[in-house]
């Protein structure tokens, strides 16, 4: 299922940039070259061939060699440039998601179990404010307060754990707002279900009822939101990376766009789409772990025999 | 001295919201002896489930409140117990089965684990032993023990209800409350499940409160019956009393609206009107607006409970004095 | 229909709107949000009435003045009053939000309708296409479109609008799928209603509530996106006082002149916050069942 989507993405991006105004030869060779040079360049690069031929050549390069083209600016393979910067983006996203999950789920559960209490209303308001804040502005505010005024953390870069704090808090708190809301609404719905009443009727303690019976059921939509969040961050950390001067994929893309470095943009978008599809796949796998009904769709029922009952006589 | 396992005295339960107060149970009194089966009969909205939840101390608060009254289990007042004490009774000494088997089981846990859970809550035994006990319970209710590790969605409605029964009886409770356990099942399955319940309880000497709107089911399983209307018990006695010596106009109406195999009639005789709005109950007798025998006396003041014959109680002005 | 039947249907509809309004006003947050948005709309329509200075009045002698009575939000690197610039920026953000949402709404609804109603192959194709769009993070999609087509206000609106289409298409499609099988549709069809009539008279009114809520949220998202795009330099260019580009130009000065970035960002936040409050209020008012 992933494949057609990726093909679609590559087609759309390639198409968009192909028909964009601006000529590769002009961009790379600049003003110094003569028209004849440019024409030679075009022929060499195969830029004068029709659309589909170029598209197929490109895709062949991507699929068989992992070759996403060559950057106009640095003349280096796009793939290399991206892979060099990907770890930073990955680290930022992973840490942020971790923070977001920890804050989001715990606050969401508390909010749901003590509905309408002070904590609930406070958390709901804060999360609404958090969602409304553009995260690049939040980043800047955090820099002003914590890096400039208080000098607790460095304002940019990503090398030491101290450097990680501000960017991760920026992205993480934003994401946690969404996760908190989803946890809260999912838990509220689950708590109303009959089987929760059954669990209480067994004499089960409220803590176990909430954390085992309710939460396990509430996880599915929560996992969806977390997955989406992670995927979005991977691709969209553009702004945060800009603010904190983190050498990640997002910043690479933005710079490439400003410089009209089309192969980089194309390759970058394709790469990110690929990674996001992987994340989606991972989320689907997580679903089947969390919900046995979904698992049954994929597997045959396994019968685990604890111990033969006859022994107990 | 007292072989009553359960005594409810003048129970009053309200559901209070911002805008209204629902008077769900209004002064209800019944008692149950050890090993006895009582049928609690009434239409939807009569307060039967609320009564059951009150016994289990599971009334959601907010908005529900037990306003006054006593619920004594084996002499102890359930309402006054600490939460830990209440939890130790639920599932252990008093169990409850709910109406809809399709939603009563947790979809992400195996049926075996759900049975083992109640065992481990109240008995100090190892996980392995609890699993064995769970398997035994499955077999007892007619489900192969190998299905321990399967999930609720892999069972039919009738089998789910059996699992629910297995959970309820796993710790050998003294009292089982069954809230319309067969209403949501096919008619053929209903019989099987009722038979199963009857057998299991007879074998263990479990007392039963069976909540239902079906007089036929009560006749099959119970020894006593209490007819509930708008939060009050209007008639209470043995099956003999209720079925063969029916006194209260409501009960008479209930029997009258059941099709009779022996008679040849053109139309059924339902009771006219609807149950009163529980947020706005009438003064005096709560059934008076629909009662064919109603008089001024009925609407004037609260209606006394009269013992028309030993053990047979009726709440009706007609039999007073 | 007989006259009094028509009248009673009309009265029922009016009663419903009153009921919706009543539920809406009970929510203090939503009313607050609405009030703020009304304020913003006024600022957007007649900024010159409120703003004490023009948006590009430069006076280099008063560069980087801290917030004071004279300049409530301080001045920027060209000596322009930030308060006035923020007010002028209202119009841009609100226009961006409204127009882009209108575009995505229309396209999304049409796609969703076709997809949901006609099903099977058409549905599959459209859904695949939507999946493709969802695979690309919104920002990158918008950025790519702008990169390909050039930076201009209209292209920005288009880019953001296209990015939001999947949301509407899915909402509409889901509503249609859930309603399609219901019996009153069969009843309408057996009465001889044509496809078009069924869609407009029966299905769309049922989808209205989620669409309205989605639209409100989208306006908020569009404003943030627009600010983000301008921030990277792909949206609206200076000296137009778009809040995002104000943040971009102010960025160099955060070390010493904190107010240059604080207030435009605050404006974005308050605007989006009010829209979100409004959206939540609308959702609760339109369908109380959705509320927990």
Tokens at C157, concatenated? 């609106």
Strand B94-97 versus strand B175-179 pairing type? parallel
- Would the pLDDT of A302 be above 60? no
- Whether the CB-CB separation of B106 and B152 falls below 8 Å is answered with yes
Considering only A72-81, A202-211, A297-306, B279-288, which range has the smallest mean pLDDT?
A: A297-306
> What is the DSSP secondary-structure string of B297-321?
HHHHSPPPPEEEETTEEE--GGG--
The residue-averaged pLDDT of C99-126 equals 84
Tens of pLDDT, residue by residue over C181-212, are 665 666 766 776 666 666 666 666 677 777 88
Render pLDDT for A251-277 as a digit per residue (tens, 0 to 9). 887 777 777 777 777 778 778 877 877
**Partners of B40 in the β-ladder:** B211, B226
Q: Are C217 and C240 in contact (CB under 8 A)?
A: no
Residue that is written with structure tokens 């007042």 in the block: B77
| A302 CB within 8 Å of a chain B CB | yes
Q: What rounded mean pLDDT belongs to chain B?
A: 86
Q: What percent of chain B has pLDDT over 70?
A: 98
For chain B, residues with pLDDT lower than 70 are 1-2, 321
- Whether chain A has a CB inside 8 Å of the CB on B105: the answer is yes
Q: Which residues contact B193 (CB under 8 A, 6 or more apart)?
A: B158, B161, B162, B165, B181, B182, B185
Report the pLDDT value the prediction gives residue A304, as an integer from 0 to 100.
45
ipTM (interface predicted TM) = 0.82
Q: Which residues is B65 bridged to in the sheet?
A: B14
Higher per-residue pLDDT: C287 or A116: A116
For an interface test with B, the pick among A115, A307, A309 (most B C-beta atoms closer than 10 Å) comes out as A309
Task: Measure the CA–CA gap between B250 and C234, rounded to whole angstroms.
Answer: 78
Asked if A202 is an interface residue toward chain B (Cβ–Cβ < 8 A), one would say yes
- Chain B residue closest in CA terms to A301: B150
C78 vs chain A: nearest CA distance in angstroms? 21
CB contact under 8 A, A204 and B121: yes
Is B120 at the interface with chain A, CB within 8 A? Answer: no
Beta pairing partners, B30: B8
Helices (H), C136-242: 138-149, 153-180, 183-190, 195-197, 204-232
- Cβ atoms of residues A238 and A250 within 8 Å: yes
| Residue of A198, A205, A293, A313 to mutate, testing the B interface (most B Cβ within 10 Å of its Cβ) | A198
**How many Å separate Cα B44 from the centre of its chain?**
12
Q: Are C123 and C115 in contact (CB under 8 A)?
A: yes
Task: Say if B92 is an interface residue toward chain A (CB within 8 Å).
Answer: yes
A116-134 pLDDT, tens digit per residue, is 788 888 888 888 888 888 8
pLDDT number for residue B178? 92
Question: Is the predicted pLDDT of residue A307 greater than 50, yes or no?
Answer: no
Instruction: Report DSSP letters for C193-207, one per residue.
Output: --HHHIIIIIIHHHH
Kindly give, in sequence order, each residue whose CB lies less than 8 Å from that of residue A84, ignoring residues fewer than 6 positions away.
Answer: none
Contact A111, A123 (CB under 8 A): yes
Mean pLDDT of the residues in chain C: 79
Q: Has residue C9 got a pLDDT over 60?
A: no
Please answer yes or no on whether C132 and A8 come within 8 Å at the CB atom.
yes
* B145/A283 Cα distance (integer angstroms): 34
Candidates B103, B108, B128; nearest CB to A216: B108
Task: Please list the residues that pair with B23 across neighbouring strands.
Answer: B14
Q: ∠ CA A147-A153-A155 to the nearest 5 degrees?
A: 55
């Amino acid at each position: 299922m992933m494949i057609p989507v990726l093909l679609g993405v590559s087609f759309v991006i390639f198409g968009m940039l192909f028909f964009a105004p601006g000529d590769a030869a002009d961009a790379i060779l600049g003003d110094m070259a003569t028209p004849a040079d440019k024409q030679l360049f075009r022929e060499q690069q195969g830029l004068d061939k029709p659309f589909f031929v170029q598209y197929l050549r490109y895709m062949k390069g991507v699929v068989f060699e992992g070759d996403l083209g060559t950057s106009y600016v640095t003349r280096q393979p796009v793939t290399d440039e991206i892979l060099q910067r990907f770890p930073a983006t990955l680290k930022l996203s992973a840490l942020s998601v971790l923070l977001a999950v920890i804050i989001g789920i715990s606050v969401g559960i508390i909010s749901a179990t003590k509905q309408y209490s002070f904590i609930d209303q406070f958390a709901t308001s804060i999360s609404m404010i958090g969602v409304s804040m553009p995260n690049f502005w939040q980043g800047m505010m955090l820099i002003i307060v914590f890096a400039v005024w208080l000098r607790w953390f460095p304002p940019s870069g990503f090398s030491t754990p101290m450097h990680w704090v501000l960017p991760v808090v920026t992205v993480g708190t934003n994401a946690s707002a969404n996760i908190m809301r989803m946890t809260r609404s999912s838990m509220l719905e689950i708590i109303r279900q009959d089987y929760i009443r059954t669990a209480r009727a067994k004499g089960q303690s409220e803590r176990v009822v909430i954390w085992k019976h309710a939460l396990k059921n509430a996880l599915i939509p929560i996992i969806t939101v977390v997955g989406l969040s992670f995927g979005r961050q991977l691709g969209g950390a553009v702004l945060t990376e800009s603010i904190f001067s983190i050498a990640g994929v997002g910043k690479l893309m933005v710079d490439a766009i400003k410089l009209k470095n089309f192969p980089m943009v194309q390759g970058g978008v394709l790469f990110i789409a690929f990674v996001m599809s992987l994340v989606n796949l991972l989320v689907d796998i997580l679903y089947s772990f969390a919900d046995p009904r979904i698992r049954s769709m994929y597997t045959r029922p396994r019968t685990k025999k604890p111990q033969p009952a006859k022994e107990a006589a | 001295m007292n072989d009553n396992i359960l005594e409810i005295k003048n129970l009053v339960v309200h559901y209070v919201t911002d805008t209204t107060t629902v008077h769900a149970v209004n002064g209800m009194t019944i008692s149950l002896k050890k090993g006895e089966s009582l049928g609690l009969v009434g239409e939807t909205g009569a307060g039967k489930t609320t009564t059951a939840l009150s016994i289990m101390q599971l009334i959601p608060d907010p908005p529900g409140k037990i306003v006054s009254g006593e619920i004594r289990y084996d002499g102890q007042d359930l309402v006054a117990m600490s939460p830990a004490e209440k939890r130790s009774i639920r599932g252990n000494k008093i169990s409850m089965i709910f109406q809809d088997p399709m939603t009563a089981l947790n979809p992400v846990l195996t049926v075996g684990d759900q049975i083992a859970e109640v065992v481990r809550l109240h008995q100090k035994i190892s996980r392995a032993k609890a699993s064995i006990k769970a398997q035994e319970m499955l077999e007892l209710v007619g489900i192969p023990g190998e299905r321990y590790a399967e999930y609720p969605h892999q069972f039919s409605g009738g089998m789910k209800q059996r699992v629910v029964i297995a959970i309820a009886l796993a710790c050998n409770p003294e009292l089982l409350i069954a809230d319309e356990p067969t209403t949501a099942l096919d008619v053929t399955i209903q019989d099987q499940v009722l038979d199963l319940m009857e057998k299991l309880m007879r074998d263990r000497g479990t007392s039963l409160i069976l909540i239902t709107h079906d007089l036929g089911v009560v006749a099959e399983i119970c020894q006593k019956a209490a007819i509930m209307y708008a939060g009050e018990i209007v008639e209470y006695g043995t099956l003999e009393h209720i079925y063969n010596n029916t006194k209260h106009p409501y009960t008479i109406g209930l029997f009258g609206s059941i099709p009779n195999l022996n008679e040849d009639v053109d139309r059924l005789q339902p009771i006219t009107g609807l149950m009163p709005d529980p947020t706005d109950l009438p003064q005096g007798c709560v059934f008076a607006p629909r009662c064919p025998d109603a008089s001024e006396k009925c609407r004037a003041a609260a209606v006394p409970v009269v013992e028309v014959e030993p053990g047979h109680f009726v709440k009706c002005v007609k039999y007073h004095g | 229909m007989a006259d009094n039947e028509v009248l009673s249907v009309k009265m029922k509809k009016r009663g419903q709107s009153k009921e919706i309004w009543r539920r809406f006003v009970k929510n203090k947050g939503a009313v607050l949000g609405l009030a703020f948005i009304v304020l913003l709309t006024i600022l957007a329509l007649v900024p010159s009435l409120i703003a004490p200075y023009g948006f590009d009045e430069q006076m280099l002698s008063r560069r980087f003045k801290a917030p004071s009575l004279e300049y409530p939000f301080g001045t920027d690197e060209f000596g322009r009053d930030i308060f006035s610039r923020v007010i002028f920026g209202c119009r841009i953000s609100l226009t961006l939000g409204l127009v882009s949402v209108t575009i995505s709404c229309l396209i999304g609804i049409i796609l969703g309708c076709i997809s949901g109603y006609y099903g099977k192959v058409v549905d599959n194709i459209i859904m695949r296409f939507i999946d493709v769009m969802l695979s690309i993070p919104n920002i990158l999609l918008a950025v790519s479109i702008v990169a390909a087509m050039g930076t201009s206000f209209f292209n920005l609106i288009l880019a953001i609008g296209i990015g939001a289409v999947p949301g509407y298409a899915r909402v509409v499609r889901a509503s249609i799928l859930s309603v399609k099988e219901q019996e009153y549709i069969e009843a309408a069809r057996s009465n001889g209603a044509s496809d078009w009539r069924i869609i407009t008279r029966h299905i769309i009114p049922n989808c209205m509530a989620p669409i309205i809520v989605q639209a409100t949220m989208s306006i908020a998202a569009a404003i943030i996106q627009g600010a983000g795009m301008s921030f990277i330099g792909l949206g609206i260019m200076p000296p137009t006082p778009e809040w995002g580009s104000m943040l971009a130009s102010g960025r160099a000065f955060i070390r010493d002149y904190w107010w240059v970035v604080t207030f435009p960002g605050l404006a974005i936040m308050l605007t989006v916050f009010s829209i979100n409050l409004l959206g939540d209020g609308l959702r609760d008012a339109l369908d109380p069942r959705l509320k927990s």
